[in-house]
Structure 1
Amino acid sequence: EYSVDVTLPLGTSLETTDNLVRQIESYLMSLPESDLTFALVGASSGFALGSSGESEKASLTVVMKPKSKKTVDDMVEEARRNISKYPGAKINVTKQEHGGFGGGAPIAINIEGPDLNTLKVLAEQVKEIVKQVPGTREVNSSWEEGRPELQLRINRQRATAYGISPSTIASTVQTAFQGTVATQIRLAGEEYNVLLQLKEIDRQNQTDLKKLYLPTATGGMVPLAEVVDFVQTTGPNKIRRENQTRQVQVTSQIVGSDLGKITGIIKERIQREIILPPNYDIVFAGNIKEMQEAFGALTLALLMAIVLVYIVIAIQYENLVHPLAIMGSLPLTLFGISWSLLLTGRIFDVSAFIGVIMLAGIVVNNAIVLVDYIETLRSRGMERIDAILEAGPTRLRPVLMTTLTTVLGLIPLALGIGEGSEMNVSLATVVIGGLTFSTVLTLVIVPIIYSVLDDLAVWTKRTILRKTGVTLEYRR
C-alpha cells in the first residue's frame, strides 16, 4: 500500500478538492498494479474521526494487487512523477509501513517553546537544513499559516460596565453559530439531542455575528459589537502541544538512504547552525525515536538469548569451559552480517536486529556438532590434537548440510519474492550472511578457542592442586 496526500490553497471548496481527487484516483486505478483505492476528501492522512476536517485537503490510499511485478517503492516513484503536475496542488506520496514503526514520517523533528512566532522561525531554519541533506524529500512543517480567522477581542472596560463576563460572550457566540444541546427528547424509544442555534441563513457572515445581543446584569440587551472588537487576521490551522508545551513539527520522507545516517547529519547541522533561545528545545521524534527504543529493547533480548543459550549448553555438558568455545562462534557472525548488508545495500533495521537474535540460537548448532564430536573422540582415548583433526573432516558434511538447508530456504525471502516479503528482506540477509560466514570460520576458529580454553582449564586445575600437593596427569 501507499498513500497520496493532497493539499490545495486555503479556502478551496470541497467540490474543487473532490474533482481533483477524482482525477488522481482515476489515474491511479488505470495502473495495472492498482487493486483498489480509498479516498478521504476534506482531511489529510492524519485526520481523526470526529475532528473538523479541512476542505482543501484530501488523502488517498492505494492497495496494490498481489504478486505485482513492480514493488511498492517503484509505484511510489511512478506516482510522484505523474501526479505532481497538477497546478497549485501540493502532493505527497508515501509508502505505507506495516509491521514497522506505524504510519508516521521517518524523520520528525519537534521544535518546542512558548511563543508561536519564534517556533515558526526556528521551524523554517530546521526545514531548510533538512532539505539540504541528501536522501530527504517532501519536507513539510506542521505550521500552516494563512487560514483567515475572525478574532473577538473583548473590551473589558465596557464589558465590566454592562456586567457581562467573558464566559457569557463565549457561550452566546457558541450557541448562535455552533449550537448547544438544550435538552433531549425520546421518540420511538430513541433519545435525540435538541440543538439550539440560529437558523443557517442568520449565521452566514460577520454581519450576522454583529447582530447578536448579549444579556446585561440589569436585564437589558446590548449588541455584541458594543463590548467586542472584531479583528480579521490569519493564524495557524492547528497548534500542536505535547506535555502542555507548544511545538511545531518538521517531517521528511527519505529515499535510498540509511535513516540513522541521515538523522545523524541533520542533528550535527542543527547543533552547529541553530542557536536556540532560552526555554526552547529541538527533539527528534518519528521513526528514529521508535527505532532507538526498539533497538534498546532488542539489545536486552539479544543479551538474554546469549545467556540462555550458554546456560542450556553448560547444563548439557556439565562443564563451564567448553560451552565458551561453542559460544565463540557468535562473534564470527558479525563479519558476515556486515558484509551481507554492505553488498546488498540494505540497512541494519529492526528486522535485521531480529535476525541477529535468531543467529544467536542458530550458529551455535555447528559449533555444538564439532565440539561434541571432539569430546566423544577424547573420551575414547584419542589425543586432543588428533581428535580435533579427526572431528573437522568428519563433521564437515553435517555442518554444511545444516547451513545449506537454512540458507537455501531463506534465499526467496532475501530476494523479496512473495507478497509482503519486503519487510523481512533485511532479516533474511543478515541470517544468510552471518550463518554462511560463521560456518566457514567455525571449522577453524572454534577448535583454536577450544584448545586455548582447555589448556587454561588444565593450568588452573594444576595451579590449584599444586597448592594442595596433588599432581595432575594430563594428556593432550
Structure 2
Amino acid sequence: MLIGTLEDWDDREVSAAEVMGQIRQLMAGIPNVRAIPVMRSTIGGRSEAPMQFVLGGGSFDQLVAWADVIAKQARDNPGLRDVDIDFNQNQPQLEITIDRERAQELGISAEEIGATLETMLGGVTDTTFMERGEEYDVFLRAREDDFTSAVDLASLYVHSHTSVHPLIVMFTVPLGICGALFGLYLSGETLNIFSQLAMIMLIGLSAKNGILIVEFINQLRDQGWTFNEAVLEASALRLRPILMTALTTVVGAIPLLLASGAGSEFRFSIGVVVFAGVTVSSLLTLFVVPAMYSLMARRTTSPDHVSRQLEKLLTQ
C-alpha cells in the first residue's frame, strides 16, 4: 500500500479525483499489478470503497458465481470504477515428484531442483540496480508463455556446479601475498597503506593465473580428455600466456622501483609488492594449481557433464 499526500489547494490546478484518474491510467500499464486508488476519508478512520455489497450463500461456488454476475453488471455501468471482488480462491497447484535416484546419478540435489523451480515459476529477487538515486529490485522469473502446462516443465534444465574449482583458484591468493611480504622483507619496506592497496590489486592478478589453468582443464574434460591428460595438457598450454602476462606486469613495475623524487618511497612500496608478488605467484601457480586440482577435483565432473547426461537420457 502506498500513501500519497497532495499539495495544498492553492498550489495545484487539479482536483483529487483527477489525480486518482491519472494514477489509475499510469498503473493500468504495469503487468501483473492491480492498483485501486482510494481517497482517504476526511472524517477519520480507514479508507473504504464508497459502495460495497456483502453476499451470502450456501457454498463458495455459488457465491463466486453470483459475485461474477454482479461484478460484470457493475463494470458495464459507466458510473462505477475499480470494481473488485475481495474473495480470493486458492491458487492452482502442481505437485512434483522428484526421482531422487536419477537426480543423484546426475549429481543434482533436491534443493537445487526446488530452487530452480522457484526461480523459473515463482520468481526471486536476484539483485538490485540504481537509477537516479533510487534503488530498485531485479525480479527474476521465466516468461509466463514458456510454462503454461505441466508438459512445459520437461524443458526446464538444472545445471549443478561444484564449489571445488573456485576453491582451487583461491589457492593462488596466498601465493601472491607471501611473495609480496617476502619482497617487503628483503627491501626493508613496511606494510603501509600503499603496499596494502597494491596487495588488493595483486589478488586479482594472482587469481587470473589460476582461472586460466582451471578453466582450460574443464574445457578439455568437456571435450572428452581423461582427467590426468587434461591436467597435464592445460598446464603445458597455459605456461606461455601466464609467463607473458607475468613478464609484462613485472616489467611495468620496474619504473616504480627506480622512481626518485617526492613521493618515490610510496611508489617504491607499490612496485615491490607487484614485482615480488607477481613473480612468486606466477611461478608457483604453474605447479600448485595443477597439483591441487589433481588432489581436490578428481572426484568432480566437468561443468557440462550434467548437460551431456540429460541430452543422452532425452535421446533414449
Please classify the TM superposition score into its range, dividing by the shorter chain length: 0.3 to 0.5
TM-score, reference length from structure 2: 0.42
Higher percent of residues as strand:
1
Indicate the structure (1 or 2) with the bigger Cα radius of gyration. 1
Higher percent of residues as helix:
2
